[in-house]
Chains A and B, each alone.
Chain A
Amino acid sequence: MAANDMSPGEQLNAEVVQLLSGVSANGGQHLAEIERDLVQMDVLLDEAIKKVCASFMAIHHAVDQQQEALNSLQAGGMSAAEYAARFEALHGEISQHVGAAVTGLQFQDMTSQLIGRMARHLAGLRDVFGALETSSLVPAESSDADLLAALVHISNRVTTRFAELEGGVRSTVKQRHMESGDIELF
């Protein structure tokens, strides 16, 4: 049925339904994105902490082994050549673990981008809910026509806010794991 063929009451009903459906669908979509970002951030943080902890333990173990090798050298249980080879191997091992820790420690950069995106989503949703404010638009005693005009105005404001929100929030962090990324030389 075209809007012109509807009675004021029917137009009012249709506008209310459209407004609520729009808020529900768009709001739900943005909240779902926030939820996805939170899950992604949880996975990244969990992997980063595990990686950093494992590297820390491995470095500690390698340093202990270096000390044992040094003790053995001093006690005459190891030749200087054997010690040099052992020391070099442990040094390489430590560098490898430090490298893994450096990869893990980059979580802050990615999670802060995700947090920034979530904050923009939330600020946008706050604007949308602000646009639903009706007290200044609807007088205490209003006719159906007044109410309809107010609802159309609110609907337009909400649509505009959702459109602004849509354009301003782009995902830049696609990483699902704290593994080092691809390298491509042009």
Chain B
Amino acid sequence: MSKTILAVDDSGSLRQMLTFSLKAAGYRVIEAVDGQDALNKAKLQQADLVLTDQNMPGMDGLSLIKALRGLKNYQTVPILMLTTESGDDMKAKGRAAGANGWLVKPFDPARLTEVVKKLIG
């Protein structure tokens, strides 16, 4: 059974690109438009990996990570940030919140799927 990835981004075109790339690599993708939407969906369906943007209306990426880490079944699930932010201070905040990696946009599909494969197979 294919692994499930929760892809969170407020940009519709970015979500489309993520879903296209991850599905082509054989993953099942659940899309969410912001942190709150992601949190609701994460509670309904278990994801094997979460890929989230940082700057989103409502709940941002860092708040989402903290909320997910507070859920019993998301304490060890790999969470990657995919964002335009590239500053060391933001990366440190992401790491402290519980992120497992930091990817700077724009992403290259081959490199993205390589990282995902490394984390969840």
Contact = CB atoms under 8 A, between A and B. Distances in A.
Interface of A: 95-96, 98-99, 102-110, 112-113, 172-175, 178-186
A102 B14 CA distance: 9
B102 A180 contact: no
**Majority secondary structure of chain B interface residues (helix, strand, loop or mixed):** mixed
| 9 A-B pairs with least C-beta separation | A181-B104, A180-B108, A106-B106, A109-B11, A185-B101, A99-B109, A109-B14, A108-B13, A173-B84
12 contacts: A99-B109, A102-B17, A102-B109, A106-B13, A106-B14, A107-B106, A108-B11, A109-B14, A113-B84, A172-B54, A182-B103, A185-B115
A180 B17 contact: no
Contacts, number: 94
Contacts of B17: 102, 105-106
B102 A186 contact: yes
B84 A183 contact: no
Bin chain B's interface residue count.
Answer: 20 to 34
Contact of B84 (A95, A102, A174, A179): A174
B95 interface: yes
